[in-house]
Amino acid sequence: MRVVGALLRKELLVELRTLESVPGMALFAVTTFVVFHFALNQNTVSGQEAAGILWVTLLFAAMLGINRLFVADADQGGFDGFLLAPVDRSALLFAKALSLLAYLFVLELVAVPAFALLLLGPPLGQALPSLLAPLALGDLGVAAIGTLIAAMTVRTRARDLLGPMLTLPLLVPVVIGCARASAPLLQATSGDGGVGPGSLPLRWLGTLALYDLVFGLIAYAVFDFLLED
């Protein structure tokens, strides 16, 4: 625990100092929304379309953060420094996943309001609390898989290419789950004809939770093998 804290502190300190990941991710998301406006030639989107645009943009923005996750460690000998310490190696997995979660949180803090402002037709206010559930579950999935794949690809050639190539297929179920779960929330009218957003389909949340659990466990089980030599 103390070790995870020490690692996390170091991670956040480096990120605050360099501001390498988070501002880029947030800016990318906002810019992408603008591009979508022109690409779709629409002023507003709603329902499944809105959910799709939001989640794909968040996913690609997350990729930027994932690509950078272990770069400082690989380039500046951080792996060795950690491996020499008499600590449980899974602590690195937890710390990195937690920091990625923190970055995603800040990303969404910027991107979701930006999305509501720039592209979303129906007002977000009422649906926002329910939207937190798919956001949180989706983030957990991205954090688990993203950290694992980032660790796998950081010490390979063409790591910027391999990272997304490996991560995107693996995250398809997360995209499906989150987009389907949030589609009713972003609708102007709910399914039964009433005014306002629909309700959260629990089936998708269940799928997301299962995915997070399975890949969280797998990441925990195999991570050590990536670190040792």
Partner 1 sequence: MEELAAQAAPGTLVEDRTAAVELAGLTRNYGERAALEDVSLTLPVGATLVAFGPNGAGKTTLLRVLATLLRPHAGTVAVLGAALPEEAWRARGRVGLLGHEALLYRELTPRENLRYHARLHGIGEERVERQLEAVSMSSRADEPVKTLSRGMVQRVAIARATLHDPELLLLDEPYANLDPAAIDVVEPLIGSASRRTRVLTSHDPGRSLAEADLVLGLRGGRVALLKPSSDVAQQEIIELYK
Partner 2 sequence: MRSPSLRALSISTVAAFCVALSLVFFYAPIEAEEGFLQKIFYLHVPLAIVSLSGFVIGGLLAIAHLRTRDQRWDLRSYVAIHMSLIFGAAVLLTGSIWARASWGHWWVWNEPTLVSFLIIFLLYATYQPLRFAIEDPERQARYASVFAITAGAFVPLNFMAVRLSASYVHPRVLGSSSNLPGPMMLTFLVSLGAMALLFATLCSYELAAKRTRILLKARSRILGFQ
> Which of 11, 112, 19 is closest to 70 using CA atoms?
11
Please choose, out of 47-55, 67-75, 95-103, 220-228, the segment that lies near partner 2 by the rule CB under 8 A: 220-228
- Interaction partner, residue 17 (partner 2, partner 1, none; CB < 5-8 Å by kind): partner 1
Distance CA 213, CA 144 (A): 9
Burial class (CB in 10 A: 0-12, 13-18, 19+), 12: middle
Q: Which of residues 2-61 bind partner 1 (CB under 8 A)?
A: 2-3, 5-7, 9-10, 13-14, 17-18
- Torsion on CA atoms 206, 171, 66, 151, rounded to nearest 10: 100
Per CB under 8 A, 162 contacts partner 1: no
Chain position carrying tokens 């929304």: 33
Which of 82, 115, 211, 223 touches partner 1 (CB under 8 A)? 82
Characterise 201 by phi-psi region: left (phi > 0), alpha (psi -120 to 50), beta (else). beta
Which residues of this chain interact with partner 2, rule CB under 8 A?
148, 152-153, 155-159, 162, 165-166, 168-170, 172-173, 176-177, 180, 203-204, 207, 210-211, 214-215, 218-219, 221-222, 225-226, 229
Which residues of this chain interact with partner 1, rule CB under 8 A?
2-3, 5-7, 9-10, 13-14, 17-18, 72, 76-78, 80-87, 228-229
